[in-house]
Structure 1
Amino acid sequence: PYILPQYNATNGGKVYINLGNISEDILKDGKRFYENGLPTPSAPSPIDATNWGSVPRNPIQVTNAFSNVPADRVFQDVGFDGLSDTAEIVKRQLYLDELAANFGTGSAAYQAAISDPSSDNYRHYRDGAFTANDGLLERYKNINSPQGNSPINDGGEFSTAATLYPDAEDLNRDNTLNETEEYFQYKIDIKRSDDPQMQIGSNYIVDRKEVPVSLADGTTRMETWYQFRIPVGSYYGKVGTIPDFKSIRFIRMFMTEFEDSTTLRFATLQLTRNIWRKFQSKVDSTGLYTAASTAPLNVGAVNIEENDKRFPLPYRTPREIQRVQTLSNNGVNLLQNEQAMQLQFCELVQNDAKAVFQT
């Protein structure tokens, strides 16, 4: 984190992960929005006005597709507020007037707001307006915006659409609006690399790897990658009445408390099932299943691709193990990742024992 020197003095921030049932009501109005329910010149339909914009009066989305009339697309592909840029100006006039009073109508902030008051316009990373000086962050800044993200193919060399389906407040496409908020919450602190919380053994960090990176200007610098592994049972807090992990439908991530715009890079983001479980009772031959000691035991995994430079004990493939070859899509022979179970325990007193079992 904070590979640029000007951010070294910042206090960092936090990343939260919610695991459970998340409300699909993105714009909190209690109404289910779907783009193809908006009226068009060829297919008028009733709508209701909300504090955010417009929403179809009928909450049932019969089909998950736009109108077959190409000219109707501009009336439906307008984002979750149901408003075009022109309608957004009318709806957000008080906001625009406040910007004009504080910064002036010629300011960059006002000009950006007047062109897209809801700040929801989609822009493909290959848009012709980009120049060679625009980097990845600029090109992908608006790739997830909903308004205009389903343009009709104009016969170009490649499609610029992010999706072919209408945006809707229905993440799992079950044709209902789930407004329940009940989930397990996990917290990760993001600090400078020299901070005690960014060391192995703290903050769910199980490994870190420093690698040389070649930059566009021809120079090379060292960057640090971290491997976080969060046990689902080690949640920071629980919201709502969710009882257990048997019905997990959504994952939500958000960042907060950062002092400036921050971009996180994920090499992989995985939800992994561990078939090895901790034996929660005392290991003996009585068969009484008495409570185990409080000595901590962590069950994990190490592998040759991610932990070959682990400090102080790098992982090595055992000499009697041969990695299996697999054929990739491009015809290149690759070696499958070889891994082993890892057990970490401490404060184990004499004659005490810990165990794991396979499910």
Structure 2
Amino acid sequence: ISDDDISNLYTRRVFIEEIFPQVDIVQGNTSVINTLDLAYYPSERGPYNFDPNATDDTLNPSNSWAGITRQITSTDFEQANVEFIEFWVQDPFLENPANTGGKLTINLGNISEDILRDGKKQYENGLPEDGDISILNPTVFGGVVPQNQSLIYTFGTTGQERNNQDVGYDGYDDAEERVLFPAEFSNFEDPAKDNYTYYLNTTGDIFERYKQYNGLEGNTPDIFTDTNRGSTTQPDVEDINRDNTMNTIDSYFEYEVNITPSTLNADNPQINDVKVRNVTLPNGDTREVTWYQFRLPINEETRRVGGITDIRSVRFARMFLSGFTQNTVMRFATFDLVRSDWRRYALDLDNDATNNSADAEFSVGIIGIQENDGDYVIPPGVFREQLNNNNNIIRQNEQSLVLKACELEPRDSRGVFKNVSVDMRQYKRLRMFLHAEAQENEVLEANELVAFIRMGNDFTQNFYQIEIPLTPSDLVEGSLPIDERIWPEINEINVPLEALQQIKSKGIFDQTLTNEDPTYYDIIDDQLSENSVPEFPVGGIQNQRVAIKGNPNFGDIRV
């Protein structure tokens, strides 16, 4: 392996500072990202593919696909409040701009573990130790599987007995494959193309060395050396989540992502961020590299398959590539299911039945200094929290909650909530930095949008509310520093909490706490107005104000 081999943009090491320069690394921790690399060869026949049109070991790339599947351990996405599929991927067309691209598809739900689609469960340690498969009946696929029920997944054999069992999902070694599988493939050394080869036990560049690393036949030898060893110590089984049951049900949500040169740009609604970096390679060359952050909302699937109705039992994830006509490497720096502590409130927040926005779109996200450096500005006066770790100062992440609303009716509202339990009597003031901007191709006027905080015993009957009209950042004085333009003081909620106690006293005295609608009061220069004000005053809301409804407990704020 030469410096040129490890300088390829798709085999080089990727350092954390390349994508996340604001992340501080604890001394002793690795500074390298363990990327997930998918090398896709659409013209090459893959394992257990006996397509009659592929007898020369090649395929029509337009009709090809290949993918991977894994289990998910926390299966209730609704309880976990999973909001997005999010991943950073390197531009796959840097070395070959002529590549027309294809499609990346992600499935979440119940995925069949029956890999060979024969209705029979294969587990290698159940195959005959002496290699005599004559006692086994072939499946509809043509392979053989154990006759007994699986109890454990572990080898109890060594030497030739291990070799007799370590043969892959079809149950055959190479010699048996040449005899028992279609004659058109008998001239190949490995008709099923399922052999394993350790990357130090072969030749070629890095791609060639890893081409058979995911093979199944011979991947668990009991004898190993520095240059020849297996990829696992466990037998291969058609039971991805190892629950001793082979799931055969396909019911999942499907998400499609077009990966083409024309769709990899900041205008793509699925792309949340773009980073362009100059990297120095081991051979001394300097190259420009582009990374894209995709963010796919869980509730915006492309289609549903198999009658799945909710995200309460998502046991598997599958990802596959299709539509590519040239060799392509997808290099993922991260691949995450992103959850939020804040949940979208799905019910009405007011008593007006005439302003419900049936077509409104509302999404929740985050933006932070570590993942979105260059696009995120920390509010004025805010500093990243620092932790002392073994005499190293490690700066923590600083993030903001992002709420996007579209097609809201006048006077309608949307919100998110989080269950908390706070005694507000120990605090003097409440502050919140707010930034407002119109969505693409839209116009947002000053005071057209109002932000509010509602807290109390519940959301609808016993609560305090704090409101402020918002000014979009593009209407803020341009001579101000960037942080004061993004987070203008005019948008900042900054109220003395004693004002909430005062309006409760007023409500008790005026007997307004039982009113159907909240009672509002203006706050100007930290002073509470003497009299209540209309909920929707003529000319709109012009300043901070507070409201009360019911009998919220200031010493036990729960929501």
Q: TM-score range by the shorter chain?
A: 0.7 to 0.9
Separation in structure 2 between the aligned mates of residue 159 and residue 290 of structure 1, nearest angstrom: 69
Instruction: Please give the residue correspondences for 1:101-120 in structure 2 after superposition, counting only pairs within 5 Å.
Output: 114-120=188-194
Separation in structure 1 between the aligned mates of residue 355 and residue 409 of structure 2, nearest angstrom: 17
Separation in structure 2 between the aligned mates of residue 4 and residue 251 of structure 1, nearest angstrom: 28
CA RMSD of aligned residues (A): 2.8
Q: 2:334 is matched with which residue? A: 268
Among 351, 357, 367, the alignment partner of 1:292 is: 357
Separation in structure 1 between the aligned mates of residue 381 and residue 167 of structure 2, nearest angstrom: 60
Offset at 1:297?
2.7
Task: Quote the sequence identity (%).
Answer: 39
Amino acid at match of 2:382: E
Cα pair distance change 1:8/1:322, threshold 3 Å: closer
Q: 2:229 is matched with which residue? A: 160
Offset at 1:12?
1.5
SS at match of 1:226: strand
Specify which structure has the higher proportion of strand.
Answer: 2
Match status 1:214 vs 2:276: no
Offset at 1:140?
2.3
Count of residue pairs brought into register by the alignment: 328
1:46–1:56 CA contact under 8 A, matched in 2: no
Q: 2:203 is matched with which residue? A: 130
SS at match of 1:72: helix
Offset at 1:176?
1.4
Q: Which moved more, 1:236-245 or 1:142-151?
A: 142-151
Amino acid at match of 1:278: R
Cα pair distance change 1:96/1:306, threshold 3 Å: same
Among 372, 397, 413, the alignment partner of 1:337 is: 397
SS at match of 1:48: coil
SS at match of 1:73: helix
2:129–2:157 CA contact under 8 A, matched in 1: no
Match status 1:176 vs 2:245: yes
Match status 1:150 vs 2:240: no
Q: 2:62 is matched with which residue? A: none
Match status 1:19 vs 2:81: no
Match status 1:305 vs 2:365: no
Cα pair distance change 1:290/1:33, threshold 3 Å: farther
- Write the deviation string for residues 190-220 of structure 1: whole angstroms up to 9, x where unpaired: 011xx2x323352421111111122344221
Q: 1:104 is matched with which residue? A: none
Offset at 1:289?
11
Q: 2:210 is matched with which residue? A: 140
Offset at 1:344?
2.6
- Write the deviation string for residues 305-334 of structure 1: whole angstroms up to 9, x where unpaired: 110023xxx343764233343749xx9764
Among 205, 230, 238, the alignment partner of 2:271 is: 205
- Write the deviation string for residues 125-171 of structure 1: whole angstroms up to 9, x where unpaired: 2x23335xx12x223222222111111133x3488221111111111
Separation in structure 2 between the aligned mates of residue 121 and residue 343 of structure 1, nearest angstrom: 50
TM-score, normalising length: structure 1: 0.82
Cα pair distance change 1:42/1:297, threshold 3 Å: closer
Offset at 1:336?
3.2
2:198–2:227 CA contact under 8 A, matched in 1: no
Q: 1:188 is matched with which residue? A: 257
Q: 2:378 is matched with which residue? A: 316
SS at match of 2:176: helix
Cα pair distance change 1:207/1:334, threshold 3 Å: same
1:280–1:291 CA contact under 8 A, matched in 2: no
Cα pair distance change 1:246/1:93, threshold 3 Å: closer
Q: 1:235 is matched with which residue? A: 301
Separation in structure 2 between the aligned mates of residue 268 and residue 159 of structure 1, nearest angstrom: 30
Offset at 1:293?
5.2
1:151–1:161 CA contact under 8 A, matched in 2: yes
SS at match of 1:95: helix
1:300–1:342 CA contact under 8 A, matched in 2: yes
Q: 2:343 is matched with which residue? A: 277
- Write the deviation string for residues 257-301 of structure 1: whole angstroms up to 9, x where unpaired: 0111211001011112222222334443x2879733534332101
Offset at 1:46?
4.0
| Structure 1: runs of 5 or more not aligned | 98-109
Among 319, 329, 334, the alignment partner of 1:253 is: 319
Q: Which moved more, 1:212-221 or 1:183-192?
A: 212-221
Larger Rg: 2
Cα pair distance change 1:61/1:321, threshold 3 Å: same
Offset at 1:340?
2.0
Match status 1:121 vs 2:210: no
1:39–1:45 CA contact under 8 A, matched in 2: no
SS at match of 1:198: coil
2:127–2:171 CA contact under 8 A, matched in 1: yes
